[in-house]
Amino acid sequence: MKTRKKPDLPQKHCATCGRPFTWRKKWAKVWDEVRFCSEKCRRSKPHSNAR
């Protein structure tokens, strides 16, 4: 695979904070499942049974 420049990488928006984040090599196999930009956002995700 050729080296890609950062502006050419795919982006998503975090489900918790809404900030855009770019593709990382460690997410290569699970990019479709990635929803959060960081571990902090993943831990503080909104709970479905919140009151």
Alpha-helical regions (H) of the chain: 39-43
> Do the Cβ atoms of 6 and 13 come closer than 8 Å?
no
Structure tokens, 25? 């090599």
- Bridge partners of residue 22, in order along the sequence: 11
pTM of the predicted protein model: 0.69
Question: Model confidence at 46, in pLDDT bands (50, 70, 90)?
Answer: low
pLDDT tens, position by position, 5-17 = 777 889 999 999 9
